[in-house]
A = this chain, B = another copy of it.
Amino acid sequence: MIQSIERSSAVLRLLAAGPDRLRVKEIADALGLPKSTAHGILRTLEHVGFVEQDPRTTRYRLGRGLLDLGDAGLDVNELRSRALDWADALAARTVEAVRIGVLQGDSVRVIHHVFRPDDTTQAMDTGLVVPAHATSLGKILLAYDVTALSLGGLDPYTRKTVTVRRELARALAEVRAQGWASAVEEWESGRAGIAAPMRTFGGLVVGAIGIYGPVERICDSRLRPRPALVEQVRATAHAISRDLSGPRR
């Protein structure tokens, strides 16, 4: 049994039982814990949105996160604004177009899009909905989402599109193993993408970020994603994840 989780549940029960907000000292005394330990638990619980601290009275009460456990506490807009600067930087470094997507039903909704720096003739992709099983963004989101793979028919878009469910499952397992995904000419011929997951507290995946462009620039001569680009995408995703797991508000 994990001690800190047991203690957390006790704290939550205490807050639920108590009529009004509680002080750190009260909680610590009630549970027989040092102030410091109780404080650490409370900080974490606040961090994940299960409790909230009234900044004026410094007292703690139950947080909204308990009520709406559904989302990770951050909506699409917040995710977008958080990832915005990072996406720009990624586009600048890789000189490729950057997309950020979240899962919406069985498909991927592109919630942010950065043009490739030196290319002016591009369409605005924000708001676009793309298939999940044929894009790198989608593979990431499917790989880490448990509701996934309940999707309907795997429509083919090119000759390289994965349409066999078993094959897709194996691909997703590989994505999980290596921590990033690619899709080479599986959605549009001549185009390829590399993507990585953006995570919140505890590793929960809330979105995907990736680059997208002509095969000849994304991949090497053997049509394998260039390691340098993969590393850029991964590093950016990691940075955003750290940001998302960081201070709220």
Interface: A78 (CB within 8 A):
no
Question: Contact between B10 and A44 (Cβ–Cβ < 8 Å)?
Answer: no
Interface: A164 (CB within 8 A):
no
Interface: A11 (CB within 8 A):
yes
Cα distance, A205 to B33, chains bound together (Å): 12
Minimum Cβ distance to chain B for residue A216 (Å): 32
Q: Chain B contacts of A9 at CB under 8 A?
A: 48-50, 65, 201-202
Q: Chain B contacts of A65 at CB under 8 A?
A: 9
Interface: A8 (CB within 8 A):
yes
Interface: A181 (CB within 8 A):
no
Question: Of residues A13, A19, A69, which shows the largest number of chain B Cβ atoms within 10 Å of its Cβ?
Answer: A13
Q: Chain B contacts of A16 at CB under 8 A?
A: 69-70
Cα distance, A44 to B47, chains bound together (Å): 20
Q: In the complex where A8-B5, A26-B146 touch, is A204 in contact with B14 (Cβ < 8 A)?
A: yes
Question: Contact between B18 and A146 (Cβ–Cβ < 8 Å)?
Answer: yes
List 19 A-B residue pairs with CB atoms under 8 Å apart, sorted by A's residue number: A1-B43, A1-B44, A2-B40, A4-B4, A4-B5, A5-B45, A6-B245, A8-B202, A9-B48, A9-B50, A9-B201, A12-B69, A13-B69, A13-B70, A13-B204, A18-B146, A29-B144, A31-B202, A31-B204
Question: Contact between B144 and A10 (Cβ–Cβ < 8 Å)?
Answer: no
Interface: A72 (CB within 8 A):
yes
The complex is assembled from copies of this chain, and their number is: 2
* Residues of chain A whose beta carbon lies under 8 Å from any beta carbon of chain B: 1-2, 4-19, 22, 26-27, 29-33, 40-41, 43-45, 47-50, 62, 65-66, 69-72, 143-147, 176, 179, 199-205, 245
Minimum Cβ distance to chain B for residue A196 (Å): 12
Cα distance, A204 to B4, chains bound together (Å): 13
Cα distance, A18 to B148, chains bound together (Å): 9
Partner among B5, B14, B27, B31 whose Cβ is within 8 Å of the Cβ of A44: B5
Q: Chain B contacts of A22 at CB under 8 A?
A: 146
Question: Contact between A30 and B202 (Cβ–Cβ < 8 Å)?
Answer: no
Cα distance, A33 to B1, chains bound together (Å): 17
Question: Contact between A200 and B10 (Cβ–Cβ < 8 Å)?
Answer: yes
Q: Chain B contacts of A1 at CB under 8 A?
A: 43-44, 47, 201, 245
Partner among B7, B15, B18, B147 whose Cβ is within 8 Å of the Cβ of A203: B7
